Amino acid sequence: MDLMRLIRPMDFERRRVSSWNRTGANKDHVILQPKQVCTLGDLTGPGIVKHLWFTARSDDYHYLQRMRLRFTWNDEPTPGVDVPFGAFFCCGFDRVCDVETPAIAVRRSRCGNQDNPDPGRGGFNSFFPMPFHRRARLEFVNGCEERTMLFYYVDWEQHEQLPADMMTFRATFREETTAPAGDKDDKRVNLTGKENYAILDVPQGAGTYVGCNMSVESEPGRAGKWYEGDDMIFVDGRAWPPRLHGTGTEDFFCHAWGAHRPISSAQFGISHYERKITDEDRFFDGRFTLYRLHLSDPVPFMQSILVTIEHGHANDAQADYSSVAYWYSRPAG
């Protein structure tokens, strides 16, 4: 954080839209009916969204994955962000998790227990800068089967002008139940990466990849060990080997010898850690959400990028994967 920035003149207006009660009463929220879309802000640029804050309450147990964030920049034909709410904030498997990073921060405030398995509530914050030159339309989609109580802030800067080359924020969600790429064989090799789980695939364009979170569910009886999968990032169409090749899934997420406890730090962590779901669980079975942000080591690309990870050694593992990639795209042309 650049504190010296505070003593320099600033030539923007700080603005905010929020769910404050326009009557002056204390009910500072909106009520969304099932499937209702709420426009958080329809902003006229140039501007930069600097901070988002949410908290929500719903009787739908799956509210974290059924609610969505949908952000459209500069009237583009498709949203730059269209991601399940919990997944965007590194909260997998219908549980509010504590997350502490400069870009994503979640504070769990209420949660269930063994007698009341509530997914929990909390304060959800994003500090990713999100520039836009003409217009930003930020929407919250209540995909729940129940009505939702939503509180929110959108803090943004109104500028007279932004640099023409300022990049656009993107968040890309993917999910897949992987299957072994062949018979189990410890001598199998992977020298193409073609069967890897793809976290981000931008076949044409320029930008910067700045991180991801990934949720994995492994069950007894399924083939392979998911944590043995190497990360492989292919940049600008380079042929094998990839420009960035790692040594294992837990290594890519800055851990070692497996995933062993929940932890949150500035650029990596395990936000969801759930073990012993059945009596037959192996030590790597369970539900895990891991994140890795590249805030100090971003990955720029000029032509294309393909961010992948093996599902087990040489893709021999069957597991349920989902992920969110955080990245910025450069203006076309």
At 63, which amino acid appears?
Answer: Y
Residue 93 has pLDDT above 60, yes or no: yes
Residue whose token pair is 């450069």: 330
User: 192 near 264, Cβ under 8 Å?
Assistant: no
CATH number of 3-158: 2.60.120.1390
Is the Cβ–Cβ distance between 178 and 65 less than 8 Å? no
Residue 219 burial by Cβ neighbours in a 10 Å radius (0-12, 13-18, 19+)? middle
Structural element, H or E, at residue 64: helix 63-66
Which pLDDT band holds residue 173 (cuts at 50, 70, 90)?
A: very high
Yes or no: is domain 168-329 CATH 2.60.120.1390? yes
% residues pLDDT > 90 (the chain): 85
Q: Does the pLDDT at position 212 exceed 90?
A: yes
**3-158 and 168-329: identical CATH topology:** yes
Delimit the domains of the chain by residue range: 3-158, 168-329
The band of 270, judged by pLDDT with boundaries at 50, 70 and 90, is very high
Q: Which of 41-50, 107-116, 160-169, 171-180 has the lowest mean pLDDT?
A: 107-116
User: How many angstroms separate the CA atoms of 216 and 288, rounded?
Assistant: 5
Q: Is the pLDDT of residue 243 over 70?
A: yes
Could you give the percent of the chain with pLDDT greater than 70?
Answer: 96
Between strands 263-264 and 67-73, the pairing is unpaired
233 has pLDDT over 70: yes
Tokens 């600008």 locate to: 236
Q: What is the mean pLDDT of residues 161-175?
A: 97
Per-residue pLDDT of 141-162, as tens digits, reads 999 999 999 999 999 999 999 9
How far does Cα 331 stand from its chain's mean position? 22
Omega prior to 163 cis, within 30 of 0: no
Tokens of 181: 């790429």
| pLDDT above 60: residue 114 | no
Name the band, by pLDDT with cuts 50, 70 and 90, for residue 87.
very high
Half-sphere exposure of 197 (CA within 13 A, CB side): 35
